[in-house]
């Protein structure tokens, strides 16, 4: 009568009886013992250990890495993990399914498997172990003495449980807790030396030493003898790759291409300068890389340190961090850098980088980064908690704050002050975006780009070229701007105090909101909105959300005006101006200079004054009072005015009408007209018109 047992979802130890047992371990890493009869052992999910015992047993490993054990056999066993039916000793008649590892007896066993990653532990005796076609391991973890195993040795191995063993097709080795000597072959080998001062020689190819199961290790592949945990006293020869313990490891590689895996713990990994693959895994890791390779911080709060070498074959680097924290590089050169010069990284919460001797672009993560320039002209983008240093050269820093914050931001580039920034030094150019607080910004000596989102801001800029967009927020903010002798471009709302400084090319952009009519006179430095301004040569005015009629008189520069919804009076005065009336019945005067006038909708009156002016017409009932084609004036007809019957000068003239007031041009649908005051057809040629498609 079969005896049935079923384990839990945890890690169970289950024992059979003298009868036929059917035991199911279910989930978890289970250990299941059969006994004297023909038992059926099911490991289920997890990494299971199955002891069949006597009788022709059936062992089903299931998912995970499962091991069949014949340690108690009173004779050598023959087990082929690539076959189902086994023989000799306690393996006689056994059938194995989904088994990845086998532990032999204390006698002369034959253990084999093909085309898989199998684990063989022969135990005592002169064992014959083969594992062709995969990455199979021979383990001597429980040897009572040191072993000397050489995977290139054609004869028997030496020492401890390895004495007399023949290994064929084996690539990976686990040593004992004594002073072992492990030697690899031309394949890619992985070694686990265990305790003891081991001598490990990888041979050819790129080989791993794995210190999982150890306490913390301190590995330096330049050093003759290693330190800490299972690495204490180890000598590593021709080893390129290291996997650390679950503790806090310190691992340093050489200048060749290495792979370092920190595993769990707060690890420090240094790739050494090759095209390295560096993985922190879990824990708060610090990873040092150079100009190429890939680094993955893994889980935890991880720091990436990047160091460049003056011998690197490129002329600068652009380091970019995307919204997911992925880091990539693009190298700058007059020629393509050699293949393999790419740096990528992911999973880091902060970075520490010093740029090249050339001009670099460096961007930080969301953490407290350290970004340093060197001799070139750097562009560095930082954020909260960062330490930023431009180094030598003309360097630019970009600071981005939360656009919705109401916290006052204080940035003074010369004094090295920036709200939330740990260190700020050696920058000449400033780009900063702030929030809705009452901010105070003092810029750099070269170029400045300032963008605020609201609040009563104070901005003073000293650069040769300054741009400041002081968003009016709720439209009642009072902003203060003090410019330099360079070129200042400033955008503000209707209230504030702005000074363009001593330059001759300063531009003031104004956004007027609200229902009250605005009176603006550039020559008198006057605005009825509560704005005082001096030392500006050019004005851009945008009128928003109003039906009030404004009176706007511009200056001598090349000005731009977008009128609102009211009946506006706009005078460009001097310069080459672009004037748009918007909605309403507007009066536009270009003044001196070659101006562009748009009546837009409504009954508009357009006067170009001196210069070769362009009058743009689409819809409405407009009048041009001083059209003079001999001065170079032109009428630009939009597609809203003409169709296929009015798309040429001849068609337009055929549908025009001479009146006592002048020449009346009528749209295709007769809804819009343009009167050229005092003009007859005889005064015109087709050169005075242009038709927009």
Q: What is the pLDDT of residues 185-205, one digit of tens each?
A: 999 999 999 999 999 999 989
507 falls within a domain: no
Query: Tens digit of pLDDT for each residue in 105-152?
Result: 999 999 999 999 999 999 999 999 999 889 999 999 999 999 999 999
Say yes or no to pLDDT of 691 above 50.
Answer: yes
Of 160, 180, 204, the residue that ends a domain is 204
Contact of 128 with 169, CB cutoff 8 Å: no
145 falls within a domain: yes
d(C-alpha 264, C-alpha 283), whole Å: 6
CA distances from 337 to 111, 312, 314, 392, 651 (A): 50, 9, 6, 25, 62
Those residues with Cβ within 8 angstroms of residue 551's Cβ, 6 or more apart along the chain or in another chain: 517, 518, 519, 520, 568, 569
Burial class (CB in 10 A: 0-12, 13-18, 19+), 454: buried
Of 189, 204, 219, the residue that ends a domain is 204
Query: Cα dihedral angle (84, 85, 91, 96), rounded to 10 degrees?
Result: 20
Backbone phi and psi for residue 539, each to the nearest 5 degrees, phi listed first: -130, 135
pLDDT of res. 328: 78
pLDDT of res. 339: 58
d(C-alpha 419, C-alpha 416), whole Å: 10
Query: Average pLDDT, stretch 604-625?
Result: 96
pLDDT of res. 336: 55
Q: Which domain holds residue 124?
A: 3-204
Query: Average pLDDT, stretch 553-564?
Result: 96
pLDDT of res. 340: 58
Say yes or no to pLDDT of 690 above 90.
Answer: yes
Say yes or no to pLDDT of 562 above 80.
Answer: yes
pLDDT of res. 323: 63
d(C-alpha 212, C-alpha 566), whole Å: 78
For residue 227, the 8-state DSSP code is B
Q: For the chain, first and last CA: distance in Å? A: 95
Say yes or no to pLDDT of 50 above 50.
Answer: yes
Model confidence at 335, pLDDT cuts 50, 70, 90, reads very low
Query: Average pLDDT, stretch 553-569?
Result: 96
Contact of 161 with 199, CB cutoff 8 Å: no
pLDDT of res. 640: 83
Query: Tens digit of pLDDT for each residue in 589-607?
Result: 999 999 999 999 999 999 9
In total, how many domains does the chain have?
Answer: 2
Distance of CA 438 to the CA centre of its chain: 31
pLDDT of res. 316: 62
Q: What is the percent of the chain with per-residue pLDDT over 90, rounded to a whole number?
A: 80
Query: Tens digit of pLDDT for each residue in 350-366?
Result: 999 888 777 788 888 88
DSSP character string of 128-139: EEE-TTS--EEE
pLDDT of res. 311: 57
155 falls within a domain: yes
pLDDT of res. 30: 95
Say yes or no to pLDDT of 464 above 50.
Answer: yes
374 falls within a domain: no
pLDDT of res. 443: 96
429 falls within a domain: no
Among 315, 340, 316, 318, smallest CA distance to 328 is for 318
Say yes or no to pLDDT of 456 above 50.
Answer: yes
Query: Tens digit of pLDDT for each residue in 629-679?
Result: 999 999 999 988 877 667 789 989 988 999 999 999 998 888 899 999 999
> Per 3-state DSSP, what percentage of the chain is helix, strand, and coil (rounded to 5)?
5, 35, 60
230 falls within a domain: no
pLDDT of res. 655: 84
Query: Tens digit of pLDDT for each residue in 261-292?
Result: 999 999 999 999 888 999 999 999 999 998 78
pLDDT of res. 290: 85
pLDDT of res. 334: 47
Query: Average pLDDT, stretch 363-388?
Result: 89
Query: Tens digit of pLDDT for each residue in 63-80?
Result: 999 999 999 999 999 999
Query: Average pLDDT, stretch 466-473?
Result: 88
Backbone phi and psi for residue 445, each to the nearest 5 degrees, phi listed first: -90, -5
Of 170, 187, 204, the residue that ends a domain is 204
Query: Average pLDDT, stretch 400-420?
Result: 94
Say yes or no to pLDDT of 28 above 60.
Answer: yes
Query: Average pLDDT, stretch 379-396?
Result: 93
Buried b (16+ CB within 10 A) or exposed e, 217-250: bbbbbeeeebebbbbbebbbeebbbbbbbbbbbb
Which of 70-79, 314-323, 383-392 bottoms out in mean pLDDT, i.e. has the lowest?
314-323
pLDDT of res. 53: 94
Average pLDDT, the chain: 93
143 falls within a domain: yes
């Amino acid at each position: 009568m079969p005896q049935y047992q079923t384990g839990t979802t945890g890690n169970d130890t289950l024992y059979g009886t003298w009868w036929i047992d059917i035991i199911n371990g279910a989930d978890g890493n289970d250990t299941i013992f059969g006994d004297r009869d023909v038992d059926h052992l099911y490991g289920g999910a997890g990494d299971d250990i199955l002891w069949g015992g006597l009788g022709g047993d059936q062992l089903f490993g299931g998912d995970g890495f499962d091991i069949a054990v014949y340690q108690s056999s009173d004779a050598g066993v023959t087990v082929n993990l690539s076959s189902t039916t086994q023989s000799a000793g306690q393996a006689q008649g056994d059938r194995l399914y989904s088994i990845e590892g086998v532990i032999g007896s204390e006698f002369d066993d034959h253990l084999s498997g093909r085309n898989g990653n199998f684990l063989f532990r022969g135990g005592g005796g002169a064992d014959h172990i083969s594992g062709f076609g995969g990455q199979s391991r021979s383990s001597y973890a429980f040897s009572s003495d040191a072993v000397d195993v050489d995977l290139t040795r054609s004869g028997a191995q030496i020492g401890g449980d390895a004495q007399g063993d023949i290994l064929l097709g084996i690539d990976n080795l686990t040593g004992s807790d004594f002073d072992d000597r492990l030697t690899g072959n031309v394949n890619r080998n992985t070694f686990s030396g265990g305790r003891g001062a081991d001598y490990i020689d990888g041979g050819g190819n790129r080989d791993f030493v794995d210190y999982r199961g150890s306490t913390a290790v301190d590995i330096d592949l330049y050093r003759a003898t290693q330190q800490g945990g299972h690495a204490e006293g180890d000598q590593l020869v021709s080893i390129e790759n290291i996997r650390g313990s679950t503790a806090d490891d310190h691992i340093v590689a050489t200048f060749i291409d290495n792979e370092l895996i920190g595993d769990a713990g707060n690890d420090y990994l240094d790739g050494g300068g090759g095209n390295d693959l560096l993985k922190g895994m879990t824990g708060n890791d610090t990873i040092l890389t150079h100009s190429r390779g890939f680094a993955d911080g893994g889980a935890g709060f991880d720091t990436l340190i990047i160091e460049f070498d003056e011998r690197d074959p490129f002329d600068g680097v652009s380091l970019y961090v995307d919204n997911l924290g992925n880091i990539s590089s693009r190298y700058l050169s007059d020629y393509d850098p050699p293949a393999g010069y790419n740096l990528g990284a992911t999973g880091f919460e902060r970075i520490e980088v010093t740029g090249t001797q050339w001009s670099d672009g460096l961007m930080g993560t969301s953490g407290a980064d350290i970004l340093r320039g060197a001799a070139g002209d750097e562009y560095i983008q930082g954020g909260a908690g960062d330490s930023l240093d431009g180094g030598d050269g003309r360097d630019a820093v970009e600071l981005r704050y939360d656009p919705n914050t109401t916290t006052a931001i204080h940035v003074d580039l010369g004094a090295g002050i920036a709200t939330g920034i740990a260190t700020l030094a050696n920058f000449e150019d400033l780009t900063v975006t702030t929030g809705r607080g009452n901010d105070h910004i003092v810029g750099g000596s070269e170029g400045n780009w300032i963008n605020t989102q609201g609040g009563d801001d104070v901005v003073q800029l000293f650069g040769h070229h300054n741009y400041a967009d002081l968003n009016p927020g709720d439209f009642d903010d009072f902003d203060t701007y003090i410019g330099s002798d360079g070129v200042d471009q400033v955008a503000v709302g209707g209230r504030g105090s702005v000074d363009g400084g001593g330059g001759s090319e300063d531009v003031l952009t104004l956004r007027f909101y609200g229902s009250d009519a605005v009176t603006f006179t550039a020559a008198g430095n006057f605005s009825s909105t509560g704005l005082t301004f001096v030392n500006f040569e050019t004005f851009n005015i945008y009128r928003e959300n109003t039906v009030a009629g404004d009176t706007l008189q511009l200056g001598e520069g090349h000005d731009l005006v977008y009128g609102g919804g009211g009946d506006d009076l706009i005078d460009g005065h001097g310069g080459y101006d672009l004037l748009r009336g918007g909605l309403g019945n507007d009066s536009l005067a270009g003044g001196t200079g070659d101006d562009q006038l748009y009546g837009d909708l409504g009954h508009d009156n357009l006067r170009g004054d001196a210069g070769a002016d362009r009058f743009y017409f689409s819809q409405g009932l407009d009048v041009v009072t001083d059209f003079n084609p001999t001065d170079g004036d032109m009428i630009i007809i939009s597609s809203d005015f003409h169709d296929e019957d009015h798309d040429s000068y001849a068609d337009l003239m055929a549908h025009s009408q001479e009146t006592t007031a002048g020449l009346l041009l009528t749209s295709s649908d007769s809804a819009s007209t343009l009167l050229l005051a005092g003009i007859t057809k005889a005064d015109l040629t087709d050169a005075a018109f242009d038709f927009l498609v």
